[in-house]
Amino acid sequence: MFDLITIGDATLDTFLVLDKARLTYGKNKRAEELCLQYGEKIAIEHSVHSLGGNATNVAVGVKRLGYKTALVTELGDDLNGDVILDELKEKGVNTKYIKIHKNAETRTSIILSYRGERTILSHHIKRNYTFPKNLQTKWIYYTSLAEGFEKIQENLTVYLAKHPEIKLACNPGSYQLSVGKEHIKKLFPHIEILFVNLEEAGVLLGKKYKPKKALKLLQKMGVKTPVITDGTKGSYVFDGAKYYFMPIYPIKALERTGAGDAFASGFLSAILAKKTIPEALTWGTANSGGVILEMGAQKGLLTKSALTKTLKKYPQYIPKKI
């Protein structure tokens, strides 16, 4: 029996820390753009290779906090796929549910890091996703998949109906939100915990709202416990009765990739440990704080002892009712 099985694409990420670039505004003057000199050789400070993908990051994060995890994903039979398999095994994540496609590519991402923020170049690959049989687990974490995700989601919905003892957490990926948000919304009545950032909440709701209003609307649509992160402003949760806000720790970020996944893995680990929703917010915040101190989405993930030390270091940072 697993504590958590995650479902989502796995990637091999390459981080490039840029030495010289500039930020400007596009024609709409609402979003900053990262600009590099066209046709020139661009210097980088250094590069790092890391496992990536929301499902992979959360499986590793929850495992590091002491729980038994497995990953449902599909890889190509290329070098990148081999590297992902080997690293998952080394990190203690069970790989029995991973499917290998012959003569196929494994997803990759290039992350351009500049001034602590990241720009992601993501290579999505269409898959004929299949849903494994007999998932023995307490929780399922359903997250980012590429084209073809609808089939596996339909099978997931049927499986949850047959196994009401299994609880579902969800963090939809960018592709699912851009082309299939109506499919994601069909899952809402099955979702125990939904993790989204404020922008993603606006996509699902069809309009951007302030965090408290967005939480209320998501809960009305069927989600039992919606959780919204808002970058450096902190995180919010509604447990059906009370609203809570949790500030981030005063930590200077080296790089923010994986911060949301670290938050989710900390939050879910607290729930597995029978902690309260406010305590889960502190676990998520602490774990996220560890990740942003390192390059890559997994190097800074905390162990249970490191999490305890971090919580003791910032006793004044606690959730507040709003």
What domains appear along the chain, each with residue ranges and CATH number? 2-12+52-108+125-321 (3.40.1190.20)
DSSP code for 125:
-
Least confident window among 8-12, 233-237, 242-246: 8-12
* Position with higher pLDDT, 38 vs 235: 235
pLDDT band at 225 (very low <50, low <70, confident <90, very high): very high
Name which of 144, 159, 134, 163 is nearest 73 in CA terms.
144
User: Residue 167: how many CA atoms within 13 Å on its side-chain side?
Assistant: 14
* CA–CA distance, 15 with 97 (Å, rounded to integer): 28
293 or 224, higher pLDDT = 224
**With pLDDT > 90 as the criterion, what percentage of the chain qualifies?**
67
CA separation, residue 291 to residues 27, 61, 254, 261, 295 (Å) = 34, 10, 9, 9, 8
Question: Which DSSP category does 239 fall into?
Answer: -
CA–CA separation, 66 vs 43, rounded Å? Answer: 40
CA–CA separation, 266 and 272 (whole Å):
10
DSSP state of 249: P
The dihedral formed by the CA atoms of 25, 27, 33 and 39, expressed in degrees to the nearest 10: -110
CB 11 within 8 A of CB 106: yes
Per-residue pLDDT for 43 more than 80? no
Say what the pLDDT of residue 146 is. 87
pTM given for the model = 0.90
In the chain, % of residues over pLDDT 70: 97
| Distances, alpha carbon 311 to alpha carbons 137, 255, 282, 287, in Å | 28, 21, 7, 10
Cβ partners under 8 Å of residue 133, min gap 6? none
Q: What is the DSSP string of 145-182?
A: --TTHHHHHHHHHHHHHH-TTSEEEE---HHHHHH-HH
Q: How far apart (Å, rounded) are the C-alpha atoms in residues 153 and 64?
A: 27
Gap between the Cα atoms of 244 and 246, Å rounded: 7
Kindly state the average pLDDT of the residues 232-259: 93
Q: Indicate if the pLDDT at residue 70 is higher than 90.
A: yes
Token pair 């697993």 is found at: 2
- Confidence band for 191, pLDDT divided at 50, 70 and 90: very high
Task: pLDDT band for 54, please (50, 70, 90 cuts).
Answer: very high
Mean pLDDT of the chain: 91
Question: Residue holding tokens 């499917």?
Answer: 99
Q: Is the dihedral of CA 63, 311, 319, 288 positive or negative?
A: negative
- Tell me what pLDDT residue 197 has: 97
Please tell me the distance from the alpha carbon of residue 43 to that of residue 82, in angstroms, as a whole number: 30
pLDDT digits (tens, 9 = 90+) for 71-125: 999 998 888 889 999 999 999 999 999 999 888 788 777 888 787 677 888 776 7
User: Cα dist. 23→74, 117, 118, 157, 221 in Å?
Assistant: 36, 11, 12, 43, 39
- At 28, is the pLDDT very low, low, confident or very high (cuts 50, 70, 90)? low
The yes-or-no verdict on residue 20 having pLDDT over 90 is no
Q: DSSP characters for 6-55?
A: EES--EEEEEEEESS-EEEE-TTSSSEEEE--TTSPPPEEEEEEEEESHH
16 confidence band (pLDDT: 50, 70, 90): confident
> What is the rounded average pLDDT of the residues 159-169?
96
Asked if 188 and 219 touch (Cβ cutoff 8 Å), the reply is: no
CB atoms under 10 Å from CB of 59, counted, come to 34
Residues 177-187: tens digit of each pLDDT: 998 889 999 99
Residue type, 282: T
Q: How confident is the model at residue 31 (pLDDT cuts 50, 70, 90)?
A: low
